[in-house]
Amino acid sequence: MIPAAFDYQRADSADAALALLNEHGDEAKLLAGGHSLLPLMKLRLAAPEVLIDVGRLDDLRYIREEGDVIAIGALTRHRDLETSALLQQQAPLLAHAASHVGDPQVRHRGTIGGSLAHADPASDLPAVALAMGATVVVRGQSGQREIPADQFFLGFLESAMDPTELMVEIRFPKLGAHGWSFQKFNRRAQDWAIVGVAAVHGAQHTGVALVNMGSTPILSTAVSNAVKSGASAVDAAALAADGTEAQSDINASVEYREHLARVLVRRALVESGV
Q: What is the pLDDT of residues 185-211, one digit of tens each?
A: 998 877 889 999 999 999 889 999 999
Per-residue pLDDT tens, the chain, 274 aa: give them.
Answer: 788 899 999 999 999 999 999 999 889 999 898 878 888 888 888 889 999 999 999 999 999 999 999 999 999 999 999 999 999 999 999 999 999 998 888 899 999 999 999 999 999 999 999 999 999 999 998 899 999 999 999 999 999 999 999 999 999 999 877 899 999 999 887 788 999 999 999 988 999 999 999 999 999 999 999 999 999 999 999 999 999 999 999 999 999 999 999 999 999 999 999 9
| Same domain, yes or no: 152 and 65 | yes
Kindly state whether residue 1 falls inside one of the protein's structural domains. Answer: no
**Could you tell me the CATH number of the domain that includes residue 235?**
3.30.390.50
Helix or strand run (H / E) with residue 80? helix 78-83
Dihedral sign for Cα atoms in the order 46, 157, 64, 146: positive
CB–CB of 173/97 below 8 Å? no
Q: 136, 153, 173: which is the final residue of a domain?
A: 173
| Same domain, yes or no: 153 and 196 | no
Helix or strand run (H / E) with residue 111? none
**Could you tell me the CATH number of the domain that includes residue 34?**
3.30.43.10
Kindly state whether residue 2 falls inside one of the protein's structural domains. Answer: no
**Could you tell me the CATH number of the domain that includes residue 84?**
3.30.465.10
Kindly state whether residue 102 falls inside one of the protein's structural domains. Answer: yes
Instruction: Kindly give the pairing relationship between strand 195-201 and strand 179-185.
Output: antiparallel
| Same domain, yes or no: 63 and 168 | yes
Q: 173, 203, 223: which is the final residue of a domain?
A: 173
| Same domain, yes or no: 186 and 124 | no
Kindly state whether residue 184 falls inside one of the protein's structural domains. Answer: yes
| Same domain, yes or no: 144 and 121 | yes
Kindly state whether residue 123 falls inside one of the protein's structural domains. Answer: yes
Q: 173, 199, 230: which is the final residue of a domain?
A: 173
How far apart are the C-alpha atoms of 224 and 145, rounded to whole Å?
Answer: 27
| Same domain, yes or no: 48 and 114 | no
| Same domain, yes or no: 143 and 90 | yes
Strand positions, DSSP E, 26-115? 28-31, 50-53, 63-66, 69-73
Amino acid identity of residue 1, one-letter, is M
| Same domain, yes or no: 33 and 93 | no
pTM value > 0.85: yes
Number of domains in the chain: 3
The span from the first CA to the last CA of the chain, in angstroms, equals: 47
| Same domain, yes or no: 194 and 256 | yes
How far apart are the C-alpha atoms of 45 and 106, rounded to whole Å?
Answer: 21
| Same domain, yes or no: 208 and 124 | no
On the CB side of 264, CA atoms within 13 Å amount to 27
For the beta carbon of residue 190, count every other beta carbon within 10 angstroms.
Answer: 13
The domain in which residue 106 lies consists of 58-173
On the CB side of 194, CA atoms within 13 Å amount to 21
CA 87: distance to chain centroid?
A: 16
| Same domain, yes or no: 45 and 62 | no
Kindly state whether residue 13 falls inside one of the protein's structural domains. Answer: yes
| Same domain, yes or no: 154 and 65 | yes
